[in-house]
Amino acid sequence: MTQIERARTGETTEEIREVAAEEGIDPETVRRRVAEGRIVIPANRNRSARVVGIGKGLRTKVNASIGTSTDIADMAMEVEKARVAERYGADTLMDLSVGGDIAAVRRAVMDATGLPVGTVPLYEAFSTAIEKYGAAVEMPAELLFEITERQCAEGVAFMAIHCGINRRTVEMLRRQHYRYGGLVSKGGSYMVAWMEHNNMENPLYEHFDRVVEILKRYDVVLSLGNGFRAGAIHDSTDRVQIQELLINCELAETGREMGCQTMVEGPGHIPIDEIEANIILQKRMSGEAPFYMLGPITTDVAPGYDHITSAIGAALSSAYGTDFICYVTPSEHLGLPYPEDVREGVTAARIAAHIGDMIKYKRRDRDKEMSMARRDMDWRKQFALAIDPERAREIKAKRGNGDSHTCTMCGSFCANEILSGMFEEDKKGSDKE
């Protein structure tokens, strides 16, 4: 049985206990929310990995996406990126490889990390079709299911499956006269091209029950992919995106009823005044299935800094109720991420998730501790509380350490040093509180 099926019988699994302990929540609360489909635990029974809970009442999680392209297919670099993502605090990893030996890269990545690993099986299916049949549109539909099963058997913990693309959404895209930014989902574009060329329905939508049965065998979490996510601010929350979101929410409910853990993806590029509406819609239409937010990128004009544009959106998304964030790196829209980009992307997304959780759960104790450590010029504690202690130490050391208390920002004009000891008896946050 899957986690959701076991939770429905009243069983508190070891994974549920681990999530509860990590989050500081009562195990029964976690079990109940898993049973309701409001929490998912991506833990393929064929691979031992870190146990991570995603969903209602839990800390907002961060995913780091890596993977080869047809231009740069360096397995060693992908392994290094996986290790960097884990080192700097990613909760999960997605291998989105489309170039080189995709299966070998995936296995190497899973061997290199203890994080749950996700994939998009559509990528390998279309890449295989190009290699074997000369074109992606010549892919036999059966190949999709074969590759999905093979990746599940290897231990993939969650999969982005593009089930919400169907004849209805494609027709809607045509009727709204395409988009300013076109289609930016690789899987979405390939699937639309395949459907149009073959004049057929999307097999993943038409045979959704088969998709669910494959994932259930391994207890893989179904992440309903947003192939029609907006790739431009002026395309956000358009009819085709919302139509796909509604379909995915319905499918999430169906998959959940069938005993498969499910979550829903959204939205891509979006202005900040539309984020809350997307989250409200997804939560109500899906019965509060976990929401996996890609980005979201909040302006189109900052290439090289899209880890910042997405962190702004991710912080708001987390505050409004998003459960899971996919990071964006500085190389977004410009090229394949390198390891240093992965570090920047993971850290920016973790900061955003923390900011959102401060609002969503009123969790501000860590910030309070940091404030007191700064007031008291306790550098060891400041570094321990920092989201990236290594970067904090690097910056302070590079600019000189000042004296034993201050830094070189103010030197002898340090405000806290000037008043040191003057209000000792009036301090809040002392041991006697």
Same domain, yes or no: 299 and 421? no
Paired with 61 in beta bridges are: 324
| pLDDT confidence of residue 433 | 44
Same domain, yes or no: 390 and 279? no
Same domain, yes or no: 191 and 246? yes
Q: Is the pLDDT of residue 267 over 80?
A: yes
For 81-134, write each residue's pLDDT tens digit.
999 999 999 999 999 999 999 999 999 999 999 999 999 999 999 999 999 999
Alpha helix segments (H runs only) across 321-364: 339-360
**Calpha distance 319→338 (Å, rounded):** 30
Lowest mean pLDDT among 41-55, 252-266, 393-407: 393-407
Same domain, yes or no: 248 and 390? no
**Calpha distance 207→409 (Å, rounded):** 62
| pLDDT confidence of residue 24 | 96
Nearest one of 224, 228, 247, 232 to 170, comparing CA atoms: 228
Q: Greater confidence, 424 or 226?
A: 226
Q: Please say which residue of 360, 389, 416 terminates a domain.
A: 360
| pLDDT confidence of residue 177 | 83
| pLDDT confidence of residue 401 | 66
The DSSP call for residue 251 is: H
Same domain, yes or no: 275 and 251? yes
Six-digit token string for 111 = 């061997």
pLDDT, mean of residues 209-218: 98
> Does residue 327 contact residue 90 with C-beta atoms inside 8 Å?
yes
| pLDDT confidence of residue 403 | 58
Q: Greater confidence, 431 or 219?
A: 219
| pLDDT confidence of residue 377 | 87
**Calpha distance 40→83 (Å, rounded):** 24
Residue 431 covered by a domain: no
Q: How sure is the predictor about 429, in pLDDT bands with cuts at 50, 70 and 90? A: low
Is the bond into 296 cis (omega within 30 degrees of 0)? yes
Residues 6+ apart with CB under 8 A from 102: 68, 123, 124, 127
| pLDDT confidence of residue 328 | 98
Percent of the chain with pLDDT over 70: 98
Q: Is the pLDDT of residue 352 over 70?
A: yes
> Does residue 263 contact residue 252 with C-beta atoms inside 8 Å?
yes
**Calpha distance 230→242 (Å, rounded):** 10
Same domain, yes or no: 318 and 410? no
Residue 98 covered by a domain: yes
Question: Among all chains, which residue has been given the structure tokens 């036999």?
Answer: 140
Nearest one of 344, 357, 283 to 310, comparing CA atoms: 344
Same domain, yes or no: 223 and 266? yes
Q: Is the pLDDT of residue 431 over 80?
A: no
Q: Greater confidence, 401 or 177?
A: 177
Residue 4 covered by a domain: no
Same domain, yes or no: 345 and 372? no
| pLDDT confidence of residue 402 | 57
Residue 7 covered by a domain: no
Q: Please report, for the domain that includes residue 180, its CATH number.
A: 3.20.20.540
Instruction: Give me the number of domains the chain comprises.
Output: 2
**Calpha distance 50→32 (Å, rounded):** 21
Paired with 62 in beta bridges are: 325
Q: Please say which residue of 331, 360, 389 terminates a domain.
A: 360
pLDDT, mean of residues 57-70: 97
Burial of 307 (0-12, 13-18, 19+ CB in 10 A): buried
Same domain, yes or no: 125 and 148? yes
Same domain, yes or no: 195 and 291? yes
39-40 and 54-55 as β-strands: parallel, antiparallel, unpaired?
antiparallel
**Calpha distance 363→235 (Å, rounded):** 34
Residues 6+ apart with CB under 8 A from 418: none
Residue 396 covered by a domain: yes
**Calpha distance 330→337 (Å, rounded):** 8
For 20-38, write each residue's pLDDT tens digit.
999 999 999 999 999 999 9
**Calpha distance 192→165 (Å, rounded):** 8
325 sits in which H/E element = strand 324-326
Same domain, yes or no: 286 and 420? no
Lowest mean pLDDT among 73-82, 97-106, 322-331, 374-383: 374-383
Q: How sure is the predictor about 432, in pLDDT bands with cuts at 50, 70 and 90? A: very low
pLDDT, mean of residues 323-347: 98
Mean pLDDT, all residues of the chain: 94
Q: What is the CA radius of gyration of the chain?
A: 23
| pLDDT confidence of residue 41 | 98
* Degrees, nearest 5: CA angle 260-261-267: 125
Q: Is the pLDDT of residue 430 over 60?
A: no
Q: How sure is the predictor about 365, in pLDDT bands with cuts at 50, 70 and 90? A: very high
Residue 261 covered by a domain: yes
| pLDDT confidence of residue 98 | 96
Q: Is the pLDDT of residue 306 over 70?
A: yes
Residues 6+ apart with CB under 8 A from 423: none
Q: How sure is the predictor about 404, in pLDDT bands with cuts at 50, 70 and 90? A: low
> Does residue 107 contact residue 135 with C-beta atoms inside 8 Å?
no
Paired with 117 in beta bridges are: 93
Residue 212 covered by a domain: yes
Same domain, yes or no: 73 and 171? yes
Q: Which domain holds residue 395?
A: 365-426
DSSP letter string, 299-310: -SS-TT-HHHHH
Reduced to 3 states (helix: H, G, I; strand: E, B; else coil), residue 218 is: helix
Q: Is the pLDDT of residue 49 over 50?
A: yes
> Does residue 66 contact residue 81 with C-beta atoms inside 8 Å?
yes
| pLDDT confidence of residue 104 | 97
Helices 186-198 and 167-175 cross at an angle (nearest 10°) of 100
Strands (E), 363-413: none
Q: Please say which residue of 360, 379, 408 terminates a domain.
A: 360
DSSP letter string, 24-60: T--HHHHHHHHHHTSEE----TTS------EETTSPP
Q: Is the pLDDT of residue 139 over 60?
A: yes
pLDDT, mean of residues 355-362: 96
Six-digit token string for 386 = 């920092």
Residue 13 covered by a domain: no
